[in-house]
């Protein structure tokens, strides 16, 4: 039985958790959970300019929100820590020492300017533009003296010249072959003695005993370099799995231009974590080609790298919206109400105390709203009329439903009928208004739309009878009164559509 797999997600805290990063994290998490392995979170904070503590915290919070629990990492610790690269310098120093002792690394004194010049000419000639290995053949004694004199230098990997093809079996791409002659003697440690990215990840993955490296496609070309480092160190080479990129709708790299790119931004718009995970999981993986809605549980039960697709995917908010909507509609009334409350409060419509006072009222409202929103942030606009003291009548709705003589008289009659209604329940309200239409000999719709606009301000609203029930008899009467007054104060109804009707 093979040892249980160890995988890691290694974001750099130079910003919030990106959608693409989140998907990588999801796949790593799902793989680990499916296999009964270990999921580690490692923070690649070696870029001091851009890395911040706030970003690290935000990334961890986003992962928690998504439900991606990790077994080792910041906060939870683990046997292979520390889990911040900036705290692992000793490990890199030791690794470089091992390489030096094994004769697999050598100092290079070439200046950046010289290197730049070499690169340019090499590229102009066409073909391979890697480092020409000048310092590789330096006399060891001379090199020592120059180091002793304090001459600036970097440490490079001494790539074996007779290595031949570097072949590895990528878990999603299949066999990938690089010629080792295409890999130059890359820099491992910089002049300021900090490790380069390729050196640091490899050392970290090796010392943390990572068995499967599941990461973005952009690292595919780095893989042969890293394999060479593993070999120089005599460490076992993990299985690699390279995930395709996520693109914006225009087929370009996903960026702010395309709208929200961070997990946090989606949370703020009222997307549910299970919906985001579901959608992102689907962006490059499929359960069976048929199933589109599945829980985290199902994901970890079925996830496999074999079913990860190789082609890049375009981020489609519309499908995310649909998935989010289905999750929203599946919620119980009280669950939905509780999720909706923060948005209503932020919009200044209500308070948590009000919810505590009359939970049933909110639970009646909840499913009517859930059926009509894609995101929680859409909720306030739908229910606003239930909370405000006065509403604005939408001019175009007024001209559609209130300007005809029939509509006006229907509204007037409705006011009277509703005011004298004895039982204020949607069922009775409906019966009342239908009866009214019959008596007036107008289509029921005329009455309904007139009342709807008077009460909600718009020709489009939540279901009318339930809305009236929730609004209450007195407030309903007041709304209709106000609407009639607004209409009457208009001497020239033809201008109505351009009037504000503030009431």
Residue 256 annotated as catalytic: yes
Entry field: residues in the chain = 503
Quick one: 48 or 405, whose CB is closer to RNA? 48
Cβ proximity of 395 and 494 under 8 Å: no
List 86, 89, 134, 194, residue binding RNA (CB under 7 A) = 194
What are the residues facing 170 on neighbouring strands?
A: 174
Cβ proximity of 442 and 406 under 8 Å: yes
List 89, 134, 207, 222, residue binding RNA (CB under 7 A) = 222
Q: Which of 252, 256, 443, 445 is catalytic?
A: 256
| 36 binds RNA, rule: CB under 7 A | no
| 209 binds RNA, rule: CB under 7 A | no
| 152 binds RNA, rule: CB under 7 A | yes
Q: What's the rounded Cα separation, in Å, for the pair 268 and 482?
A: 36
Which residues, 6 or more positions from 11, have their beta carbon under 8 angstroms from its beta carbon? 17, 21, 25, 43, 44, 59
Question: Which residues inside 49-108 make contact with RNA, applying CB under 7 A?
Answer: none
Taking CB under 7 A as the binding criterion, the range among 66-74, 127-135, 340-348, 383-391 that sits at the site for RNA is 127-135
Find the shortest distance in angstroms from Cβ 191 to RNA: 3
Find the shortest distance in angstroms from Cβ 209 to RNA: 20
What angle in degrees, to the nearest 10, is found between the helix axes of 405-419 and 444-456? 70
| 130 binds RNA, rule: CB under 7 A | yes
State how far the alpha carbon of 352 is from the alpha carbons of 296, 335, 348, in Å.
30, 14, 11
List 36, 126, 164, 405, residue binding RNA (CB under 7 A) = 126
Give the dihedral sign, CA 397/403/405/410: positive
| 34 binds RNA, rule: CB under 7 A | no
| 250 binds RNA, rule: CB under 7 A | no
Indicate the SS3 state at residue 406.
Answer: helix
Q: What's the rounded Cα separation, in Å, for the pair 460 and 382?
A: 9
Question: Which residues inside 272-311 make contact with RNA, applying CB under 7 A?
Answer: 282-284, 286, 288-290, 292, 306-307, 309-311
List 4, 54, 140, 252, residue binding RNA (CB under 7 A) = 252
Quick one: 91 or 461, whose CB is closer to RNA? 461
List 129, 143, 265, 298, residue binding RNA (CB under 7 A) = 129
List 3, 79, 127, 164, residue binding RNA (CB under 7 A) = 127
Find the shortest distance in angstroms from Cβ 357 to RNA: 26
Question: Which residues inside 355-384 make contact with RNA, applying CB under 7 A?
Answer: 371-372
Q: What's the rounded Cα separation, in Å, for the pair 75 and 14?
A: 19
Burial of 140 from C-beta contacts in 10 A (0-12 / 13-18 / 19+): exposed
Which residues, 6 or more positions from 302, have their beta carbon under 8 angstroms from its beta carbon? 34, 287, 294
Taking CB under 7 A as the binding criterion, the range among 69-77, 268-276, 323-331, 409-417 that sits at the site for RNA is 323-331
The CB-side HSE value for 464 (13 A sphere, CA atoms) comes to 23
List 464, 471, 483, 496, residue binding RNA (CB under 7 A) = 464
Active site residues: 256
């Amino acid at each position: 039985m093979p040892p249980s797999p160890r995988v890691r997600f290694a974001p750099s805290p130079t910003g919030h958790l990106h959608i693409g990063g989140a998907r990588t994290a999801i796949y790593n998490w799902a793989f680990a959970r499916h296999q009964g392995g270990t999921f580690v979170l490692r923070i690649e904070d070696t870029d001091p300019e851009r890395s911040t503590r706030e970003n690290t915290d935000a990334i961890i919070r986003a992962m928690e929100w998504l439900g991606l629990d990790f077994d080792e990492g910041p906060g939870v610790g683990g046997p292979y820590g520390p889990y911040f690269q900036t705290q692992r310098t000793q490990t890199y120093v030791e690794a470089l020492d091992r390489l030096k002792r094994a004769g697999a690394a050598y100092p290079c004194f070439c200046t950046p300017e010289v290197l730049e010049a070499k690169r340019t000419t090499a590229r102009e000639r066409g073909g391979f533009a890697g480092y020409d290995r000048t310092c590789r053949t330096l006399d060891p004694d001379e090199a020592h003296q120059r180091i002793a004199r304090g001459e600036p230098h970097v440490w490079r990997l001494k790539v074996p010249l007779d290595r031949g093809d570097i072949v590895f079996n990528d878990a999603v791409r299949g066999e990938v072959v690089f010629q080792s002659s295409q890999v130059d003697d890359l820099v491992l440690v910089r002049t300021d003695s900090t490790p380069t990215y390729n050196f640091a990840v490899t050392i970290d993955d090796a010392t943390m005993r990572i068995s499967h490296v599941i990461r973005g496609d952009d690292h595919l070309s780095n893989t042969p370099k890293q394999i060479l480092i593993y070999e120089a160190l005599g460490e076992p080479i993990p299985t690699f799995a390279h995930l395709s990129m996520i693109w914006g709708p225009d087929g370009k790299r996903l960026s702010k231009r395309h709208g929200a790119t961070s997990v946090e931004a989606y949370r703020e718009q009222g997307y549910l974590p299970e919906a985001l995970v579901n959608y992102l999981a689907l962006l490059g993986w499929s359960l069976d080609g048929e199933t589109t809605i599945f829980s985290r549980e199902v994901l970890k039960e079925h996830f496999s790298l074999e079913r990860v697709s190789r082609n890049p995917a375009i981020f489609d908010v519309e499908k995310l919206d649909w998935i989010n909507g289905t999750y929203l509609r599946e919620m119980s009334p009280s669950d939905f109400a509780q999720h909706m409350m923060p948005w209503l409060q932020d919009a200044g419509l209500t308070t948590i105390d009000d919810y505590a006072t009359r939970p049933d009222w909110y639970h009646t409202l909840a499913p009517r709203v859930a059926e009509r929103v894609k995101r929680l942030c859409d909720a306030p606009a739908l229910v606003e009329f239930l909370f405000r003291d006065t509403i604005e009548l939408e001019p175009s709705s007024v001209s559609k439903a209130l300007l005809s003589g029939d509509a006006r008289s229907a509204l007037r009659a409705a006011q009277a009928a509703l005011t004298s209604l004895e039982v204020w329940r949607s069922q009775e309200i409906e019966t009342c208004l239908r009866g009214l239409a019959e008596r007036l000999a107008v289509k029921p719709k005329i009455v309904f739309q007139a009342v709807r606009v008077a009460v909600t301000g718009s020709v489009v609203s939540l279901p009318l009878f339930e809305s009236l029930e929730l609004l209450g008899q007195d407030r309903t009467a007041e709304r209709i009164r106000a609407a009639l007054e607004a209409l009457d104060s208009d001497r020239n109804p033809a201008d109505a559509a351009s009037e504000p009707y503030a009431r």
